[in-house]
Amino acid sequence: MLKNILILAICLFTINSAFSQSFWFGPKGVLSFNVQNWNGFERDPYLSINGDIFIETHDEYSRGSLYAQLGFHTRGSSTRVNFLSGNAATQSFQFDNLVLEIGAKQKLTSKTNSGPYYMVGVRGEYTLGSNLSEYVVFQSAYYPVEDFIRKYNYGVTVGGGWDFEFSELIGGLIELTVNPDLSNQYEQQAIPNVVNPFNLQTVTLQERKVRNLTFEIKFGLRFMRKVEYID
């Protein structure tokens, strides 16, 4: 606990120092294309909505900037299930995460407030909830359960975008990012003596690990808080 508090204090001090000058801030988000790796197998994609509030340093010489953002993102995947009755349905597995991200942006043009850029960042995520309780009614250990969700996860973000200038203090952006997790969203140890609901034989369920990979497209507005020093 003390280690986590120390890391958070260092991050807050760094962010406060970086954003003591003029800076940009605003909302961004729209659509996430989510996939998950389940023990080496990719599940079908799941679409969700994402949203962030960001703050970004302003450099009038366009040498690059630092940013921090906090947002709500739903990670997940889906799968097609065929029932014995002959019916089929698509089932989704959703994890609602609070995401804190910090990173750096580098402009690819000399223009101060507009033009293309690339970015790289690191993420920390906390899982607020999931929809796994919906599958308890099936009474099958083949479905994931909430007990094995990892509440804390981390990953990296890489991507790029384009800043637009509407006026000196207002702008917009469009951004595309790839967001692989470096930790598992779900970890379940092997479970022995499970009855197969289809043939009633006893089997051992293998260890289950689920890892997120998300592709995001974001649109946003940028507002500048301009700091001027007068002698």
What the chain holds in terms of domains, given with CATH numbers, is 2-225 (2.40.160.20)
Q: Classify burial at 5, counting beta carbons within 10 Å of its beta carbon; exposed 0-12, middle 13-18, buried 19 or more.
A: exposed
The DSSP output letter for 38 is: E
Distance of alpha carbon 210 from alpha carbon 29, whole angstroms:
25
Q: What one-character DSSP code corresponds to residue 85?
A: T
What's the helix, strand, coil split of the chain in %, to 5?
Answer: 10, 60, 25
Model's pTM, two decimal places?
A: 0.82
Q: Which pLDDT belongs to residue 79? A: 85
> For the chain, which residues score pLDDT lower than 50?
1-2, 5-6, 9, 13
User: Do residues 23 and 225 lie in contact, with contact meaning Cβ atoms separated by under 8 Å?
Assistant: yes
Q: How far apart are CA 182 and CA 157, in angstroms?
A: 11
At position 148, the amino acid (one-letter code) is F
Provide the pLDDT for residue 17.
Answer: 52
Q: What is the pLDDT of residue 22?
A: 80
* Residue bearing tokens 């260092």: 10
Q: Can you say whether the dihedral through the CA atoms of 142, 145, 150, 156 is positive or negative?
A: positive
- Rounded Cα–Cα distance for residues 1 and 152 (Å): 13
DSSP state at residue 30 = E
Nearest to 220 by CA among 63, 69, 58: 69
State the CB neighbour count (10 A cutoff) for residue 131: 15
Q: Tell me how far apart the alpha carbons of residues 17 and 23 are, in angstroms, rounded to a whole number.
A: 12
| pLDDT at residue 130, as a whole number | 95
Q: What is the pLDDT of residue 229?
A: 57
Q: What is the DSSP letter of 40?
A: T
